[in-house]
Amino acid sequence: MLRQLHSLPGLIAALLVMILALSGAVLSVDPALERLHQAPVASGQLNVGQLAGRVASHFSGVEQIQRSASGTVIVYYNQNGQAGAETVDPLTGQGLAPYQPSAFSRWMKDLHRSLFLGTPGHGVAGAGALFMLMLSVSGALLLARRLGGWRNLLRPIRGNFSQRWHAEVGRLVLVGLMLSALSGTFLCATTFELIPDGSAIEPAFPAHVSAGPAMPVANLPALRNVDFNDLRELVYPSPGNPQDVYSLRTAKGDGYVDQGNGALLSYQAHDSTRALYELIYQLHTGQGLWWLGLLLGICALSVPLMSVTGILLWWRRRKAGPNIRHNSPAHSADSVILVGSESNSTWGFAKTLHDTLHAAGHTVHSAPMNSYANNLGHARQVFILTATHGDGDAPSSASQFLARLAKNGLKPGQPFAVLGFGDRQFARFCQFAHQVEAAMLQAGGTPLLALETINRQSSQEFSRWGQKLGAATGQELSLNRIPDRPRTHQLELVERIAYGQQVNAPTHVLRFKAVGDLPCFEAGDLVGIVPPGSAEPRFYSLASNSDDGMLEICVRKHPNGVCSGFLHELPEGAPIEAFIQPNPHFRPASGKQPVILIGAGTGIGPLAGFIRNNKARHPMHLYWGGRNPASDFLYEPELNRYLADQRLTRLQAAFSQVQDRSYVQDRLISDAMALRRLIEKGAQVLVCGSREMAKGVMHALDEVLAPLNLSVLTLKAQGRYLEDVY
C-alpha cells in the first residue's frame, strides 16, 4: 500500500515534479547572486531616513525606494519626465547600475509558478508540490521500513545501482525536498486564498495630514526610527501635493509618514498570519537566506535522478513480478494463493497453480504474502507457497507476513495448505515455511494438507503435491509446470588457472568472454550455468564485474559433481550457456568504513572481486583459509598485487594442511584486537564460503566481539554482517 502511495504519484507526476524542481534549482541561485553583489549592512548602522537622504543627494524626482529581502536597494525616479530605476549602494546612496529585472529569471519564475498557464497553471504547480510532498513522506516511510526503523535511517544501504542511488540520495535530500514541497504547497494555497497570507489588513489612509511645508526626507523622524534592514518599500508622495503622504512598508508593519512633520500615521503592525506567510515565503525562495536557498536548490537538482531511478525500479519490479492472468479480487475469490518469494522463482509455481485452479472453474486471487489483510471473505482454500531466505528468514515478499497475520488474525477454521520451497543442501531447509504453518495453525486455520516441501524447484515434486491436494479436496489437480529458464547468454572460456591438485581439492579460476555483449553484473552476483544434459542450473558467485570485461568464477571440483566436472573439463574456447542472477544484498556498502572480508576455499571468489574493484582504496581486510600455500593459495599473485597498490590493506591467510595447521576461525581469534578496533570504527563484515565455515566464523567472531558487548546477531541486525554461504 505504502509502496503504491509512493510509485503512483511518482509515475503520474514525474515530469511535472522534474520541471518544478529544475526551475526551482535555477531560481535558487538568485538570492546568492544578489548577496554577492550586495554586502550586508549591520543592524543599527543605517536608518531609512539616512538612506533616503543619501539617495536624495544623487537622485532627484525619487518616487520609490525598494529593498529586496536579499538587501538590494532599487531607486525609482522621474527626472524631467525621464523615468528610470537604478540599484543603489545603501551606504552612499550612489547609483550602481540601471535596474532591469532579469527576463530569464522572470521566465523561469513563470515556468516554476504556473508553467506559463496563468491561474490554472498555478493550480497545476500546486498539485506538483503536493505530489512532491506525498513522494517525500511516503519515501521516508519506505526507507525507514526498509532499514528497520527510524533509528537505523543512517544504516548502509545495499542493492543494485538504482536501488542504492535512489535510497542514498533520497535520504540525503529528503528534508530539503520536504521543506520545498510543504512551503510550495502553502504558497499555492495562499495564491488561491485557501489560506490567508495576512496581506488583507492594510493601514487606512490617514484622514488628516499636517499639510505644512515638506521637511527634508532625511529628517523625517518616522523614517529615522526604522532600521535599514527592516525596510521593504518607501513610496514618495506625489510631487507638489501637500495632502499626500509617504507610504512606508517594513518587515514589522506598514503605515504612512506625514511629509510636513514626519509623524508616523495609521501604522498597522503585521499580524502572526503575515509573519508566518513571510517566513514560509523566505524558506521557499531563499530570499534573505541565500545559503538555505542554495541547499534547497541542490536538493532539487536530485529530483531528475530520483525520478529516473524511481521509474527504473518500478519498471523492473513490474517486469520481474508475476504475470498472472484472471486474477480475481481478494474479497471475492474462492481460492487464494499467497506467495513468499525472494527472486520470483516461486511465482512460477504459483502461476501454474493459479492457472490450473482457474481452468477448473475457481475464482482465484494470487498476491504476495505481505499483502495479507484478513480480507479473504469467500476463500474456501488458502495456499501459501513460500521460499526461505538466508538462514531460515522470510523472503522479501513475505517479510511482513507473520506480523500481519498476528495483527489481522485469520477467519476461524480457514482451510489452508503451506508449500515450502528450498534446497536440501541448506541446514534450515524450508525453515520459514515451517514457521508459517505453525503460525497459521495457531491463528486457528484448518490444514487441508500438512506442510510439503519442494527441493530445488522440482517440477515432479510439485506435481505430486497437486495430486495429494486433489485427493484431499476431492478435485483432481494436475499441476504441469514448464520451468521457464531465464534468457541465457553464450560465454566462451578464455582462461583457466588451476590450483589445489596436490592437496586433493582441485580448484579452477575460470574466465569467460561473452560471444556477444557481456550482461551486466557485479562481483557477488550469481551466474547460473546449466550443464549439458541437465535441466537444473547450478549457481556460482561471481568474482568480477562486467566492467572488468570478463566473467570470472572460482570452481572446486566435487566428486560426482555434474556441473563442476563439466567446467573443469571444459576446453578453452568452448561455449557455455549462462544467465545472471543478481544478488544485490551481498556486497560492501558504499562509504569509508573498513570492510572485513572472511572466506575459505572458493569463497574467496566474490571477495577477490570486491578487492579488485576497490578503486577508492577503502580499508579492506581479508581473512582466508586454504589447505597448503604451495598448492591452493587461490588468487595469490593477484592478492599480492592488490596489497602493493593498497586496494587490499591486510591479508591474513590460514592453512590447514601444513605444519602449524590453522583455520580461518583461528586466525580471527588470534587477530581479535585488530578486529575489535575495526568493528569499533564501524567496519562491516562479509563472509563467503561453506555453511560449516560460516558457522565456525560466527562462533569465533562472537568470541572476538564479546569484550565490546557485541555479537554477530547485533551486527546482523545493523546490516553490518552479510553472508553468502553454500
Partner 1 sequence: MKKIIAATCLAGAIALPGLAQAREVTLTTQLKDYSGNGAYLAIYVTDGNGQYQKTLWVAGKKAKYYKHLGDWARGSGMNPSEFDGVSGASVGSGRTLKVSVELADTLIDAGYQIRIDSAVEDKRDVRADVSVPLTSKGAGKPAAGSTYVESFTYDL
Q: Name the residues that contact partner 1, by CB under 8 A.
A: 63-64, 76, 81, 83, 85, 101, 103, 106, 110, 197, 199-200, 202, 204-205, 235, 238, 241, 244, 247
Burial 332-346, CB ≥16 within 10 A → b, else e: ebbbbbbbbbbebeb
Contacting residues for 457 by C-beta, under 8 A, at least 6 apart: 345, 349, 421, 483, 536
Chain Cα centroid distance, residue 72: 40
Nearest alpha carbon to residue 382 among 359, 394, 366: 366
User: Rounded CA gap, 417 and 108, in Å?
Assistant: 61
Nearer to partner 1, 158 or 249 (CB): 249
CB of 341 to partner 1, least distance (A): 56
Question: φ and ψ at 203, to 5 degrees?
Answer: -65, 145
Cβ contact 364:327 at 8 Å = yes
Nearer to partner 1, 254 or 437 (CB): 254
User: Rounded CA gap, 185 and 172, in Å?
Assistant: 22
Nearer to partner 1, 235 or 333 (CB): 235
User: Rounded CA gap, 655 and 632, in Å?
Assistant: 9
CB of 79 to partner 1, least distance (A): 13
Residue whose C-alpha cell reads 587490499 in the numeric block: 648
Question: φ and ψ at 635, to 5 degrees?
Answer: 60, 20
CB of 205 to partner 1, least distance (A): 5
Residue whose C-alpha cell reads 489612509 in the numeric block: 205
User: Rounded CA gap, 244 and 233, in Å?
Assistant: 17
- Sheet holding 684-689: strands in order across? 650-655, 620-626, 595-600, 684-689, 721-725
Nearest alpha carbon to residue 543 among 510, 584, 506: 510
- Cell readout for 162 is 538504482
Nearer to partner 1, 181 or 234 (CB): 234
Nearer to partner 1, 193 or 569 (CB): 193
CB of 293 to partner 1, least distance (A): 17
Nearest alpha carbon to residue 443 among 402, 476, 502, 481: 402
CA torsion, ordered 319, 321, 327, 329, to nearest 10 deg: -120
Nearer to partner 1, 1 or 103 (CB): 103
Nearer to partner 1, 202 or 645 (CB): 202
Nearer to partner 1, 137 or 214 (CB): 214
CB of 85 to partner 1, least distance (A): 6
Nearer to partner 1, 57 or 241 (CB): 241
Residue whose C-alpha cell reads 553490518 in the numeric block: 720
